[in-house]
Amino acid sequence: MSSQPITILIAALGGEGGGVLAEWLVELALRAGHPAQATSIPGVAQRTGATTYYVEIHPQTHAELGGRAPVMSLSPVPGCLDLMVASELLEAVRAIQNGHVSPERTRLVCSTHRTLTTFEKLAPGDGRYDSTRLLEVARRYSRECAAFDVDATAREAGTVPSAVLFGAIAASGVLPFDPAAFEEIIRDSGRGVEASLKGFALAFERCRAAGGVHAAVAVPRSGVPGTQSAPAPALCVPSGTPDLVSLGHARVVEFQDAAYGELFTQRVERLRAVARRFGVDGDAGLVSEGGRYLALWMAFDDVIRVADLKSRAARFARVAEEAGARPGDLLRIADHLKPGLVELAGLLPPALANRLLDWESSRRDAKRWRRRDGATPLAMPLKLRADSILGFLALRLLGALRPLRRIGRRYAEEQELIEHWLVCIEAAPSLEVALELALCARMVKGYGATNERAKENFRSIINSLKSSDPADIRRAREAALAEESGTALDAALTQAGAPPRAVKAVPVRWVKRTGTAT
């Protein structure tokens, strides 16, 4: 029998019970009479940061060793692991990137689910790391990879990830102990034993079922979508994708009425005509992708739309389910709304609305002179009880204002910008440019100030790059969707040769100082 220790590295997020898991493994070994050691670097990583726990178990018992004590390593040795366990997919790959996992030696047990990092969540677009690629690396660089959803398994069993990973470790067969011995440890832990045992059993089964996927059967690399942007549409529609134009039409009709749907269809036809002008008969991406964003834009989120969506019967059921309400529980739903003067003005005819907004703007200027603190726009913060009769009626009434939408300022403003966008697409020098300009509509989203900033970015690209290289437009769009401050977009615009954007006024307040000469 080998006299080298069995080595296990556990990658987990703080608070997932990795420490308990390491403790269980040591206890398991001690009970069977094997020397064992575990270390960790918890520190502040306990606060949901990434951390690791390292365990060594000697394959021989104290009795077999006859008093000799092995010297064990306190830190994992890259390439010398027998088992790598990860409660989250990205953390498995981080350990692989750090060199810990050996394709010749290391069995990998990892979760397929992702707990997104803050970094991935920040982008105004989609900043999520591509899971397909992560899984592909996990499989290629391990001797054997058993991947299953640890998080879902834990929730299904009503337990924590540590119990599930314990089951997965038992199933990996790396340790010379019976599953019964593992279960004994859980039984003696004394807390949430039944749920932990259930999680253990589920994981054991799933790990066995998922195992045996060898590196040779890796996921093919082709067809891996990009991470920072939506898949670049192919020049012909692949079969099996939903018919975006029909979906879009339905969305627009639902938003307003059949006539508005007719307007949508006419606009889609204009996109089709552009494609045809460049010799493409059919979709050419421009129609489906352009139609997608056209529909989302035409069904813009105004007060009426929000009230309508929030007062639907299906919503109450969905909220109850998400909140984990059981039969017999009562639900109280409070919607955090803050309708402002701008939103109200958006419903009024443009002339009236503009007068109202002018008044508001002069009020804020006056206030800014008188007082030092920020003069915020007029708005009413509401916690509307959607489950109360009055609250619900208020939403329903607001939703019923739909026919009035067409006379409103917001409606006019959106149609104007949509028309401008379509005209730019129609004037595009090539199909590629037309497509890139069409995709820019993805940027137009959000509410209030976010929406204004998004439209400003959108206008900058559409106006200054409308006849540029398609790659430049794509870069600028991706920059705008990657970060909020606009620095990346400015850089992309400059790189594309666009004139610098006007510097925006930023409030700066100097402090009155006694005795300062400068």
Partner 1 sequence: MEISFTREVDQLRQGAGTTFHGEGILAITKALLQSGVAYVGGYQGAPVSHLLDVMVQAEDYMAELGVHVEACSNEASAAAMLGASIHYPLRGAVTWKSVVGTNVAADALSNLASPGVVGGALIIVGEDYGEGASVIQERTHAFAMKSSLLLLDPRPQLPAMVRMVEHGFALSEVSNTPAILQLRIRACHVRGSFECKDNVSPAISRKALMESPARFDYERLSHPPSTFRHEKLKFEQRLPAARRYILEHGLNEVFGGRHEDIGIIVQGGLHNALVRALQQFTVADAFGAAEIPMLVLNVTYPLVPEQIADFCRGKRVVLVVEEGQPEFIEQEIATALRRMEIDTALHGKDLLPMAGEYNVEVIAEGLVKFLARHAAAVPLDAARDWLAANAARRQAVVAQLELPLPPRPPQFCVGCPERPVFSAIKQAQANVGPVHYAADIGCHSFATFEPFGFGHTILGYGMSLASRAGVSPMLGRRAMAVMGDGGFWHNGLLTGVESALFNQDDAVLLIMKNGYTSATGTQEIISTPDDEIKAAAENRQQSLVDRNHTIEDTLKGIGVGWLRTVPSYEVETMRRTLEEAFTTDYAGLKVIIAEGECQLERQRRTKPWIAGLLKAGKRVVKVRYGVDADTCSGDHSCIRLSGCPTLTLKDSGDPLKVDPVATVIDCCVGCGLCGENAHAATLCPSFYRVEVVKNPGLAERLLAGLRRGVIGMLAR
Site for partner 1 in 211-270 (CB under 8 A): 227, 230, 242, 244, 247-248, 251
- Tell whether residue 447 is a contact of partner 1 (CB under 8 A): yes
Select the residue interacting with partner 1 from 265, 362, 388, 463 (CB under 8 A). 388
- Tell whether residue 271 is a contact of partner 1 (CB under 8 A): no
Q: Distance between CA 113 and CA 115 in Å, rounded?
A: 7
Q: Distance between CA 298 and CA 414 in Å, rounded?
A: 8
Q: Distance between CA 245 and CA 251 in Å, rounded?
A: 10
Is residue 346 within 8 Å of 356, Cβ to Cβ? Answer: no
The three-state (H, E, C) secondary structure of 167-236, written as one string: HHHHHHCCCCCCHHHHHHHHHHHCCCHHHHHHHHHHHHHHHHHHCCECHHHCCCCCCCCCCCCCCCCCCC
Pick between residue 84 and residue 207 the one whose CB is nearest to partner 1: 84
- Tell whether residue 368 is a contact of partner 1 (CB under 8 A): no
Show the beta-strand stretches assigned E in 17-93: 36-40, 50-57, 83-86
Residues in the chain: 518
Q: Tell me which H or E stretch contains 389.
A: helix 389-399
- Indicate the residue type of 367: K
Select the residue interacting with partner 1 from 66, 240, 279, 381 (CB under 8 A). 381
Quote the least distance from Cβ 345 to partner 1, whole Å.
Answer: 15
Pick between residue 50 and residue 263 the one whose CB is nearest to partner 1: 50
Select the residue interacting with partner 1 from 21, 28, 86, 137 (CB under 8 A). 137
Quote the least distance from Cβ 467 to partner 1, whole Å.
Answer: 26
- Tell whether residue 367 is a contact of partner 1 (CB under 8 A): no
Select the residue interacting with partner 1 from 1, 281, 327, 332 (CB under 8 A). 332
Of the candidates 395, 413, 481, which has an alpha carbon nearest to the alpha carbon of residue 446?
A: 481
CA 29 to chain centre: 40
Q: Distance between CA 25 and CA 8 in Å, rounded?
A: 10
Pick between residue 71 and residue 351 the one whose CB is nearest to partner 1: 71
Tokens of 75: 């830190």
Pick between residue 43 and residue 497 the one whose CB is nearest to partner 1: 43
- Tell whether residue 437 is a contact of partner 1 (CB under 8 A): no
- Tell whether residue 405 is a contact of partner 1 (CB under 8 A): no
Pick between residue 324 and residue 499 the one whose CB is nearest to partner 1: 324
Contacts of partner 1 in 38-67 (CB under 8 A): 38-51, 58
CA torsion, points 44, 48, 50, 51, in degrees to nearest 10? 50
Q: Distance between CA 252 and CA 246 in Å, rounded?
A: 10
- Tell whether residue 120 is a contact of partner 1 (CB under 8 A): yes
Q: How many residues bind partner 1 (CB under 8 A)?
A: 141
Q: Tell me which H or E stretch contains 195.
A: helix 193-210
**Sole window of 267-275, 383-391, 470-478, 491-499 interacting with partner 1 (rule: CB under 8 A):** 383-391
- Tell whether residue 383 is a contact of partner 1 (CB under 8 A): yes
Backbone angles phi, psi at 278, to 5 degrees: -95, 15
**Sole window of 90-98, 158-166, 261-269, 402-410 interacting with partner 1 (rule: CB under 8 A):** 90-98
Give the C-alpha distances (Å, rounded to integers) separating 143 from 84, 133, 207, 390: 10, 18, 15, 62
- Indicate the residue type of 49: G
Pick between residue 397 and residue 471 the one whose CB is nearest to partner 1: 397
Q: Distance between CA 501 and CA 457 in Å, rounded?
A: 10
Quote the least distance from Cβ 208 to partner 1, whole Å.
Answer: 27
Of the candidates 6, 173, 2, which has an alpha carbon nearest to the alpha carbon of residue 80?
A: 6
Pick between residue 315 and residue 501 the one whose CB is nearest to partner 1: 315
- Tell whether residue 435 is a contact of partner 1 (CB under 8 A): no
Quote the least distance from Cβ 128 to partner 1, whole Å.
Answer: 7
Quote the least distance from Cβ 102 to partner 1, whole Å.
Answer: 8
Contacts of partner 1 in 153-192 (CB under 8 A): 155
Select the residue interacting with partner 1 from 20, 115, 156, 412 (CB under 8 A). 115
Burial degree of 164 (CB within 10 A; 0-12, 13-18, 19+): buried
- Tell whether residue 442 is a contact of partner 1 (CB under 8 A): yes
Q: Distance between CA 299 and CA 317 in Å, rounded?
A: 24
- Tell whether residue 103 is a contact of partner 1 (CB under 8 A): yes
- Tell whether residue 26 is a contact of partner 1 (CB under 8 A): yes
Provide CB contacts within 8 A for 517, sequence distance 6+: none
**Sole window of 23-31, 174-182, 267-275, 350-358 interacting with partner 1 (rule: CB under 8 A):** 23-31
- Tell whether residue 72 is a contact of partner 1 (CB under 8 A): yes
Classify residue 40 as left (phi > 0), alpha (psi -120 to 50) or beta.
Answer: beta
Select the residue interacting with partner 1 from 61, 75, 354, 361 (CB under 8 A). 75
Pick between residue 393 and residue 427 the one whose CB is nearest to partner 1: 393
Classify residue 79 as left (phi > 0), alpha (psi -120 to 50) or beta.
Answer: left
Radius of gyration of the chain (CA): 30
Quote the least distance from Cβ 12 to partner 1, whole Å.
Answer: 11
**Sole window of 198-206, 305-313, 401-409, 486-494 interacting with partner 1 (rule: CB under 8 A):** 305-313
Angle of helix 258-277 relative to helix 286-298, nearest 10 degrees, comes to 150
Provide CB contacts within 8 A for 285, sequence distance 6+: 233, 234, 235, 236, 237, 435
Quote the least distance from Cβ 406 to partner 1, whole Å.
Answer: 21
Quote the least distance from Cβ 494 to partner 1, whole Å.
Answer: 23
Quote the least distance from Cβ 9 to partner 1, whole Å.
Answer: 13
**Sole window of 98-106, 165-173, 204-212, 426-434 interacting with partner 1 (rule: CB under 8 A):** 98-106
Pick between residue 331 and residue 427 the one whose CB is nearest to partner 1: 331
